Structure 1
Amino acid sequence: MAEVKDFTKYLKKLQKKNNDDRDDNPFEALNRDYDWDEDPDIAESGEYDGYPTKGPTYQERIRKHRIAVAIRTVVVIAATALIVAGVYVSWRDKHFTESNITSSVKIADASGAKAINLAGYVLTYSKDGASCIDSSGQQLWNQTYQMQNPTIHTCKDVVAIGDYNGHNIYVANTGGALGEIDTNLPIRDFCVASQGVVAAVLDDKNVTWIYLFDPSGKELASFKTTMQDSGYPVDISISPSGELVCVSYLKADSGKLKTSVAFFNFGDVGQNLADNYASGYDYPDVVVPYVQFMNDSKIFAVADDRLMFFSGKEVPTSQTESLTGDEEIKSVFYSDNYVGVVFVNNTDEGAYRLQIYGETGNLDTTIYFDTEYVDVLFDNGQIIVYGEDEYILYDMKGTEKFRGTFDRAVKVMVPTNVRSKFLLVTERSLDTLELK
């Protein structure tokens, strides 16, 4: 608080001056001449609340200042949001006009190997082993094995490598090996979750087992199936969390085929369910050879005449169905949020028709193209269709943004964090492609 005696001395002096001059009210002169901003302690002390003033009080000034600051803040936020929205729309709708190979590094001759995209890295594999390399071509790890026909399944940055009729499954991520699983029984099918949990279909004469293993090979759970009871497991998928397993069973029922899509919960909820069975749906006269988790709560299945979508993190329920009739489905692709189905089209519109569905099963986009494709990617709000010799970029509405050709045959096209930059895996090099 300011010294009251100094203020009083000032007040008396001011009063004497005003008596000699024109002003008979010392308090009016005080309000006019005294700089309250330089002495806020006096204004806040309450000692002189009763003094009449001509202008706003200190508290009113503070209130008006705060209102002004709030208004300016809102205006700045709104302007920033508009600028960001404008930049995003421009970025999203940008069309490219040219492409260049900005760098190229040699890699080991992969003429006898296959390659896939593993969370932005490149995984090459063959009958003799697998290795993972980064964008600079540096090998991160190498795993040797002997397999007749190695099969790869991935989830985010985790990969599981096994062989039909084999006994071993190797689990790794981009950082290195996570473990090896010895199933003891012949492998018929398997899949992997994001932390390395593997669900495997194993053959045991008249009984087919489904086991869950951790990456080191420890058995986590198991249940058996028979043709008489549930049917034969045609396909299997595990959720990224490793808690849900979806199985498509094919069974003969009264001389007719029937498929059952069943969900098993191995999380906390599943502990209270008989045999961990959460839910299931029957499809008479239908074959369902493919089931797949998009994320922890969205699942889709492909039948010979329809697509089925399911939803639920604990107990999945049927969501929607989209009939495909007798049309030939050539390929199925998916991401966390989209499912792409390529049909043989053979019309003037294009040799192929790509139908893109959202996670709820709604048909979002239809694209016609003629490219003899290797893969279809959903990445960074873009759809990339590419083959060994050419590629096409679309936005999510199906508008073509760029079409280009490769200088040499490309095995894998890998998106990067930059939507205009891609890694190209060829037989002997790893190239960086940039669009402008």
Structure 2
Amino acid sequence: MADSYRENRKNELRRRVVDTETLREREHKKHEERQGRRPRRFLVFLLIMITVMVIAAGGFYLAHRQFRDFSVNWTVDFTAQEGAIDSDYEEYYIYADGLLKVTRDGASYINSAGKTMWNQAYEMSHPYAAVNGDYCAIGDQGKTTLFIMNSSGTTGQAETHLPISKLSVSGTGVVYALIEDSAASHITVFTRDGAALDISIKSILSGDGYPVDISVSPDGTELMVSFVSLEGGTIQNKIIFYNFDEIGQNAGNNRVVGGFTEDFTGHLTGRVHFSDDTYAQAFYDGGIAFFSTKVLTSPELVNNVAIPETMRAIAYSGDYVGVVTLNSDENVQEAYKLTVYRSNGQTVFSTAFSFNMSGFDIDGDKVFLYNDKSLRIYDMSGNIKFDENLDITVSKVRGTGKLTTPLGMDILVGSSSLVESVKIK
């Protein structure tokens, strides 16, 4: 019995010794594995950091890279087309996905692929065009004829009972025409087919003031008007909002849902503009007023940016508003200042420059400054992406909607009797 007990104890001790050695071997292996993992972890961390730095450097390079060359993708030469007529007046507008060319003898729409989608012939002494998305309206200023087109062609024609002063078209083709005689002005409304709607705003010049500019919202239901009058030798300017939907009917016969006067006393608002169905702007000699019509029954002045410097040019797209002013900073050598805002008045960027511009456009996320044959392009970070001379006279510039890549960007250039697609690279 004692021998059996001693034998069991010996076996138990042997197992413990074996288990201890096994544990030691396992711990040793784990220690070696941990020692081996450290350099591998460091290597993985190093590779990740290098990758992040390469991506960041690449992003910085792409953001700040300035393109210095260009090539022509295609050219549409209007003088080479059958039945081409020389015109002493030619104007281009950013329209649909291409350019709208307007002359005294007719209008043409050239899309981003270089195809002439339509031609509309007419005879006008002073053609006046308004564009909004895929729709445009062209009227003879001082006369009574107007045409309405979309990207597929002419949708309607209308006659006004008084001479046309200005036009504004919605993104649905509804046209608001400002017409006037010596005693009063009227705003009349036409459908995309050219049919007159039973909507009219009459203002007596001696009482209500003179309507300087009008702008309709993209959906065609809201109208913004700048009225100016002279009282006691002081300019009185008011911004009025109308609503022609059901909400406007509840506002009374005049359909006025908002009016602003105090911020504009002594100033003249020469341009009003709807960026979209929510935001609108008034450009006056002293600043830019940014409005919100999110609450349809009560438009709100959300931002009033004072600009004491002389405004030299303004431009806008769906999301952005830009202004070029004289530079009043004596510590800066550049003569001009470019400032871009969002449609609600938030500043995107501001930069001084000396480029002697004659044209200024915003399209997408690019800003274009140009003169006779020179073109400068900014992105929305204020970086100069291109600053070179082109081989043609520059009358209008726009993007094509294609993304800017490391290989460059595509733009459309309207010039004298031709349109070119240009690859900036």
Normalising by the residue count of structure 1, what TM-score does the alignment of the two structures yield?
Answer: 0.75
Q: Taking every aligned residue pair, what percent have the same amino acid on both sides?
A: 28
Q: Displacement, 1:216?
A: 2.3
Q: Displacement, 1:127?
A: 0.9
Please say if residues 342 and 354 of structure 1, whose CA atoms lie closer than 8 Å, have aligned partners that are also in contact. yes
Please say if residues 128 and 139 of structure 2, whose CA atoms lie closer than 8 Å, have aligned partners that are also in contact. yes
Residue 280 of structure 1 aligns with an amino acid whose one-letter code is: G
Please say if residues 371 and 390 of structure 1, whose CA atoms lie closer than 8 Å, have aligned partners that are also in contact. no
2-side partners of 1:341 and 1:376: how far apart?
9
Residue 99 of structure 2 aligns with an amino acid whose one-letter code is: V
2-side partners of 1:237 and 1:92: how far apart?
38
2-side partners of 1:222 and 1:254: how far apart?
30
Aligned equivalent of 1:277, options 240, 256, 261:
256
Aligned to 1:181: 158
Q: Deviations over 1:50-75 (max 9, x none)?
A: xxxxxxxxxxxxxxxxxxxxxxxxxx
Note the 1:234-383 alignment, pairs <5 A: 234-274=212-252, 275-282=254-261, 283-313=264-294, 314=296, 315-325=298-308, 327-345=309-327, 349-383=333-367
Q: Deviations over 1:368-388 (max 9, x none)?
A: 222232433334433222223
- Point out the more displaced range, 242-251 or 419-428: 419-428
Q: Deviations over 1:70-121 (max 9, x none)?
A: xxxxxxxxxxxx9xx9799569725244423142334112764222221222
1:211 and 2:193 matched: no
Moved over 4 A (4+): 85-92
Note the 1:1-400 alignment, pairs <5 A: 89=59, 93=63, 95-109=65-79, 112=88, 113-220=90-197, 221-274=199-252, 275-282=254-261, 283-313=264-294, 314=296, 315-325=298-308, 327-345=309-327, 349-400=333-384
Q: Displacement, 1:295?
A: 1.0
1:423 and 2:412 matched: yes
1:141 is paired with a residue of what secondary structure? strand
Please say if residues 297 and 316 of structure 1, whose CA atoms lie closer than 8 Å, have aligned partners that are also in contact. no
Please say if residues 121 and 174 of structure 1, whose CA atoms lie closer than 8 Å, have aligned partners that are also in contact. no
2-side partners of 1:430 and 1:230: how far apart?
44
Residue 236 of structure 1 aligns with an amino acid whose one-letter code is: I
Residue 362 of structure 1 aligns with an amino acid whose one-letter code is: Q
1:435 and 2:424 matched: yes
Structure 1 residues 229, 343: CA separation in 2 closer, same or farther (over 3 Å shift)? same
2:78 is paired with a residue of what secondary structure? coil
Structure 1 residues 305, 96: CA separation in 2 closer, same or farther (over 3 Å shift)? closer
Please say if residues 176 and 216 of structure 2, whose CA atoms lie closer than 8 Å, have aligned partners that are also in contact. yes
**Which of the two has higher C-alpha Rg?**
1
Please say if residues 248 and 259 of structure 1, whose CA atoms lie closer than 8 Å, have aligned partners that are also in contact. yes
Q: Displacement, 1:173?
A: 1.6
Residue 388 of structure 2 aligns with an amino acid whose one-letter code is: G
**Which consecutive unaligned segments of at least 5 residues does structure 1 have?**
1-81
Residue 350 of structure 2 aligns with an amino acid whose one-letter code is: T
Q: Displacement, 1:244?
A: 0.5
**Which consecutive unaligned segments of at least 5 residues does structure 2 have?**
1-51, 80-85
Please say if residues 270 and 284 of structure 2, whose CA atoms lie closer than 8 Å, have aligned partners that are also in contact. yes
Q: Aligned-residue CA RMSD in angstroms?
A: 2.5
2-side partners of 1:402 and 1:312: how far apart?
37
1:289 is paired with a residue of what secondary structure? strand
1:259 is paired with a residue of what secondary structure? strand
Q: Displacement, 1:412?
A: 2.2
Structure 1 residues 259, 136: CA separation in 2 closer, same or farther (over 3 Å shift)? same
